[in-house]
Structure 1
Amino acid sequence: MKDLKNKVAYITGGSKGIGYGVAQKLLEAGMRVAVSGRTLKSVKAAAAHLAKDDQVLAIESDVADHDDEKKAVQEILDKWGQLDVVLANAGVGNFAPIDEMSDKDWHQMIDTNLSGAFHTLQASVEALKKSKGYYMTLASLAGCNFFANGAGYNASKFGVVGFTQAAMLDLRKYDIKVSTIMPGSVKTHFAGNEPDSSDDWKIHPEDIGELVIDLLKMHPRTLPSKIEVRPSRPDKK
């Protein structure tokens, strides 16, 4: 995509954190961006801060609900008539030893992080075939590195990585590009963190946005299908 102006993107979990940072960068590049979240109030507030014109669409959708995602994509198509880029970003993290993890916390992660990525792609794939677009998932370095208290989160993110790589093989015959982005520590509110200056060593959300722009502008013959990204230097403690 040499010219991103007026291309249409859909970002799930776009009201804050990485999704919000990516939305900022796509808007700066002249794109039109739909952002979704589970509560319309929070998504509308984010949209109001992102842009004051008609370049942003706020959508209420729970990615764990397949029908919600189908409605979300249809709302985008009804407004702008096309869909060029999809970032399945919505995610949650519940951390506990496996013998203490609740069934509810396990399923929230699997249903949101993994099934959500599937629902978003299923809802958008026909539109992406028409636009020869780009589908991305926001995975994590936790999708290749396991750690204590992370069984549920690891399972969901390992799954996202495998799902995305297989989807890439299925969809490239339609000229749809598919990539998964696997960040390490990011300065966000994820898992109850309150970001402040002590988090400045981490990746910032807008850095992921710049990475997304780079992927979109990559020559069509080349596909970075799995991208690991981490802070350039670890925290000094």
Structure 2
Amino acid sequence: MQNIENKVAYITGGTKGIGFGIAKALLENGVKVAISGRDIDAVEKAKEELGNQNILALKSDVRNFDDEMKAVEKIIATYGKLDIVIANAGLGKFAPVDEMSLEDWNVMIDTNLTGAFHTLKATVEQLKQNKGYYFSIASLAGTNFFAQGAGYNASKFGVVGFTQAAMLDLRNYDIKCTTIMPGSVTSHFNEHIPNEADEWKIQPSDLGQMIVDLLKMNPNVLPSKVEVRPTKTK
């Protein structure tokens, strides 16, 4: 089993939901964590809620490559290295394809797909140096299409394809790449407020534990694409 204590991780979209759950799990396992988001006040609030001295709050919009480069520079200046990257920032806008606005299409592609590329592009040299691990958080919507999901499906199908191709490109540098494809998760996605009715869903803490387990797995093994569902449906 791999020892991950004192590794350094960067999580985009780390202020709530899945990103927050992953940050909490990593911190509990001795990892030093940087989280980012577009709203620095929200990032600082998440940092306070996590209540751990080994966390760095960063402002970054993954749609902007320069933002991601500056975030990485701050991580290196603070911790001296970067070992683990979780491209988690994402959003969804849902409408029939003939009614979908150009703005909604572009914000999904730019955030969910191009953002995942920007995050990897900004961190890949550190991952090469440290034989690191890159995770993208996709969705079962990256393999299962549905009505009113054309833009979201396109972005998440893209994330799956991007990560799998990146895995083949980067494995020769001893970099691991995995895409996680969750089904229904208790989160703030699409302005949802988590409540008791969400208990049957995957919890952010479950995905956090999954990331920890993957990081600790024998280095000879790479689960490159992981589909995750609730045990039961509602």
The residue type equivalent to 1:231 in the other structure is P
Match for residue 86 of structure 1? 85
Matches of residues 9-28 of structure 1 in structure 2 within 5 Å?
9-28=9-28
Match for residue 109 of structure 1? 108
Structure 2 distance, partners of 1:166, 1:11, is 21
User: How far does residue 193 in structure 1 lie from its aligned partner after superposition?
Assistant: 1.2
Matches of residues 111-126 of structure 1 in structure 2 within 5 Å?
111-126=110-125
The alignment covers a number of residue pairs equal to: 234
Match for residue 59 of structure 2? 60
Q: Please give the per-residue CA displacement for 1:63-117, whole angstroms capped at 9, x wherever unaligned.
A: 0001100111111001001100000000000000001100000000000000000
2:133 aligned with 1:134: yes
Q: Secondary structure at the match of 1:142?
A: helix
Matches of residues 56-205 of structure 1 in structure 2 within 5 Å?
56-205=55-204
Structure 2 distance, partners of 1:5, 1:215, is 14
User: How far does residue 2 in structure 1 lie from its aligned partner after superposition?
Assistant: 1.6
Q: Please give the per-residue CA displacement for 1:188-222, whole angstroms capped at 9, x wherever unaligned.
A: 11012111000100000010000000110110111
User: How far does residue 6 in structure 1 lie from its aligned partner after superposition?
Assistant: 1.0
CA contact (8 A) 2:8 2:31 kept: yes
User: How far does residue 43 in structure 1 lie from its aligned partner after superposition?
Assistant: 0.1
TM-score between both structures, scaled by the size of structure 1: 0.98
The residue type equivalent to 1:38 in the other structure is R
**Structure 2 regions of 5+ residues with no counterpart?**
none
Structure 2 distance, partners of 1:189, 1:129, is 33
2:5 aligned with 1:5: yes
Structure 1 distance, partners of 2:49, 2:188, is 18
Match for residue 40 of structure 2? 40
User: How far does residue 51 in structure 1 lie from its aligned partner after superposition?
Assistant: 2.2
Structure 1 distance, partners of 2:220, 2:3, is 16
Q: Secondary structure at the match of 2:214?
A: helix
Structure 2 distance, partners of 1:179, 1:52, is 27
2:229 aligned with 1:206: no
Deviation larger for 151-160 or 189-198: 189-198
Q: Please give the per-residue CA displacement for 1:118-159, whole angstroms capped at 9, x wherever unaligned.
A: 000000000000110000000000000000000000000000
CA contact (8 A) 2:2 2:219 kept: no
Q: Secondary structure at the match of 2:63?
A: coil
Structure 1 distance, partners of 2:175, 2:95, is 37
| Deviation >3 Å, runs of 4+ | none
Q: Please give the per-residue CA displacement for 1:34-62, whole angstroms capped at 9, x wherever unaligned.
A: 00000110001101111242x00000000
The residue type equivalent to 1:17 in the other structure is G
Deviation larger for 35-44 or 189-198: 189-198
Structure 1 distance, partners of 2:52, 2:182, is 30
CA contact (8 A) 2:93 2:104 kept: yes
CA contact (8 A) 2:27 2:52 kept: no
